[in-house]
């Protein structure tokens, strides 16, 4: 992966949705890291005072989505603004809910600044509160990344990442929604980037056990699966099978089983259209 002259600092991008209670502390904590330059908060259609609190805290640029578009879209907006503000400079993605622990992100930045890694991923210690997951999303993401790249991440969903601009550009357009981390890892590795996991003393709001939390996990699982499928060539196989089935059905129609064949053809082509629409919807 080509690299430009060594930068001295990174741009921090904070995707934030309804984080009024945490965003101020997270921003203030980032000020403790000397190598963090501009800070961009992307308010992803919050319904609370996230943007106002960020502006009031000061020292940041706030970009707003007027409706909620998901974490990956907020990261994409932040990455685009970072490229305008500080071209060629690495980007540090920081979740808004890290609060004071965001001040510990220095070790995640360092390897990218000294050219030792193209992307670093923070590995978090056991969290203060108990999580309510079953490990399904994490296992799916970890196994999928290993299958596609041969590399096994410890915490495949960790969103605290620093990327050289070249590595970030290699992963654009980002995978959508909660598939963004899996997409970043696979795309950067496939582009020949060096990915490094860095233990880091970070704490965030853990996802609990209630219904809302499990619904969040279901969305994570769907997005992670989609990011993996998009990168595995499986979709192409589905299209190829749909095409084969259509040709088979046309053959049947030629041999007289017209009604049945027409129904099969219609079903297959509408499934194929739906798949292709889904593919287009993912492109930003």
Ligand X SMILES: O=c1ccn([C@@H]2O[C@H](COP(=O)(O)OP(=O)(O)O[C@H]3O[C@H](CO)[C@@H](O)[C@H](O)[C@H]3O)[C@@H](O)[C@H]2O)c(=O)[nH]1
Ligand Y SMILES: O=C(O)[C@H](O)COP(=O)(O)O
Which stretch, 3-11, 70-78, 164-172, 193-201, contacts ligand X (CB under 6 A)? 70-78
Nearer to ligand Y, 85 or 136 (CB): 136
b/e sequence 200-226, b meaning 16+ C-beta within 10 Å: bebbbeebeeeeeeeebbeebbebbbb
Q: What span, in angstroms and rounded, lies between the C-alpha atoms of 226 and 129? A: 30
Site for ligand X in 223-282 (CB under 6 A): none
| Least distance between ligand Y and beta carbon 278 (Å) | 24
Nearer to ligand Y, 54 or 141 (CB): 141
Q: In a 3-state reduction of DSSP, which class is residue 50?
A: helix
By a kind-dependent CB cut-off of 5 to 8 A, residue 131 interacts, out of ligand X, ligand Y, none, with ligand Y
Q: Check: CB of residue 161 under 8 Å from CB of residue 122.
A: yes
By a kind-dependent CB cut-off of 5 to 8 A, residue 17 interacts, out of ligand Y, ligand X, none, with ligand X
Closest CA to 133 of 218, 210, 209: 209
Q: Check: CB of residue 123 under 8 Å from CB of residue 158.
A: yes
| Least distance between ligand Y and beta carbon 37 (Å) | 31
Closest CA to 271 of 243, 249, 248: 243
Number of residues that bind ligand X (CB under 6 A): 21
Q: What span, in angstroms and rounded, lies between the C-alpha atoms of 162 and 240? A: 38
| Least distance between ligand Y and beta carbon 152 (Å) | 15
Regarding 99 and contact with ligand X (CB under 6 A), the answer is no
Q: What span, in angstroms and rounded, lies between the C-alpha atoms of 248 and 267? A: 13
| Least distance between ligand X and beta carbon 62 (Å) | 13
Q: What span, in angstroms and rounded, lies between the C-alpha atoms of 87 and 82? A: 7
User: Rg of the chain over CA atoms, in angstroms?
Assistant: 21
Task: Say if residue 44 is exposed, middle or buried (CB neighbours under 10 Å; 0-12, 13-18, 19+).
Answer: buried
Regarding 207 and contact with ligand Y (CB under 6 A), the answer is yes
Site for ligand X in 148-187 (CB under 6 A): 157-159, 178, 181
Regarding 56 and contact with ligand Y (CB under 6 A), the answer is no
Site for ligand Y in 91-150 (CB under 6 A): 131, 133-138
By a kind-dependent CB cut-off of 5 to 8 A, residue 178 interacts, out of ligand X, ligand Y, none, with ligand X
Binding mask 7-36 for ligand X (x = CB under 6 A): --------xxx-x-----------------
Binding site residues, ligand X, CB under 6 A: 15-17, 19, 44, 68, 70-71, 74, 95-97, 157-159, 178, 181, 204-205, 207, 220
């Amino acid at each position: 992966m080509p690299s430009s002259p060594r930068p001295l600092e990174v741009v921090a991008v904070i995707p934030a949705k309804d984080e009024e209670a945490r965003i101020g502390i997270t921003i203030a904590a980032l000020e403790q890291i000397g190598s963090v330059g501009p800070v961009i908060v992307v308010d992803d259609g919050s319904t609370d005072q996230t943007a106002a609190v960020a502006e009031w805290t000061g020292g940041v640029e706030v970009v707003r989505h007027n409706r909620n578009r998901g974490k990956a879209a907020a990261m994409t907006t932040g990455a685009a603004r970072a490229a305008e503000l500080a071209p060629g400079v690495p980007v540090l993605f920081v979740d808004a809910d890290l609060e004071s622990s965001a001040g510990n992100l220095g070790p995640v930045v360092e390897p990218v600044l000294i050219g030792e890694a193209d992307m670093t991923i923070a590995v978090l210690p056991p969290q203060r509160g108990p999580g309510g997951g079953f490990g399904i999303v994490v296992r799916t993401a970890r196994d999928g990344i290993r299958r596609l790249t041969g590399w096994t991440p410890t915490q495949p969903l960790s969103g605290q990442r620093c990327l050289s601009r070249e590595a970030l550009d290699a992963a654009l357009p980002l995978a959508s929604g909660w598939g963004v981390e899996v997409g970043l890892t696979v795309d950067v590795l496939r582009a020949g980037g060096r990915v490094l996991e860095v233990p880091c003393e970070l704490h965030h709001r853990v996802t609990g056990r209630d219904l809302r939390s499990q619904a969040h996990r279901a969305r994570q699982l769907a997005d992670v699966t989609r990011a993996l499928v998009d990168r595995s060539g499986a979709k192409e196989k589905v299209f190829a099978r749909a095409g084969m089935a259509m040709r088979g059905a046309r053959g049947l129609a030629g041999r007289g089983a017209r009604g049945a064949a027409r129904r099969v053809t219609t079903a297959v082509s509408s499934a194929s259209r739906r798949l292709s629409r889904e593919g287009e919807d993912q492109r930003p």
